[in-house]
Amino acid sequence: MFLIKEIAEKFDLKKDTIRYYDKIGLLKPSDRKQNGYRLYSISDFKKLSFILKAKSIGLSLKAIKDLVNMYENPSSYSCKEVKEVASNEISKLNQKINELEQMKKKLIFLEKSCLNDSSRDASNCSILNNLKEKNL
C-alpha cells in the first residue's frame, strides 16, 4: 500500500489533485490508516494511470468517471455505450472548435482593421475603438 505522497510523486501530481479525485469519487483509496491517511494499492495505481491517459486526450472529468465505471464493470455495459461517451466528448470538442473559430475571425478582423501606425499614439487605435464600440 502507498501513501498519497508516494502516488503524487510517482505520477508527478499534486496531493490536492488526488484528494479532489477522491472527493468526486473518481479515485477512492483502497484503505485508510487509523490516522486517516489514504492508502492506495497497485490497482489504484493502474486506475490513476487510466484516468491520466483519458485526461491527457482532453476528456472531461464526468466522461472519465463514466469510463472508469465502465472499465471496472465491463459486463454491465456494451461497447456501444462506451462509444457514446467518446462521441459525446467529440461533439463537445467540435462545439469548442466552432467557438474558437469565431473568436479567431473576430481577432483577424481587429488585426486587419489596424493601420499599424507607429508614429501615432493609441488614442485612435482601430482595435481599441472597435472593442470600445463592440463593432465585432
Provide mean pLDDT across the span 117-130. Answer: 78
Mean pLDDT, rounded, for 12-28: 94
Range in 48-57, 93-102, 107-116 the model is least confident about: 107-116
Task: Tell me: pLDDT of 34 over 90.
Answer: no
Is the pLDDT confidence value at 116 over 80? no
Q: Is the pLDDT of residue 73 over 90?
A: yes
State residue 135's pLDDT score. 65
Which residue would you say has higher pLDDT here, 55 or 129?
A: 55
41 pLDDT more than 70? yes
Which of 3.30.70.920, 1.10.1660.10, 3.40.228.10, 3.90.320.10 would CATH assign to domain 1-59? 1.10.1660.10
Cell of 56: 491527457
Q: Is the pLDDT of residue 10 over 80?
A: yes
Indicate if the pLDDT at residue 121 is higher than 80. Answer: no
Which H helix or E strand runs over 3?
strand 2-3
Domain ranges of the chain: 1-59
The cell numbers describing 135, all together, are 463593432
- Measured CA to CA in angstroms, residue 110 lies from 118, 123, 126, 130 at distances of 17, 16, 8, 7
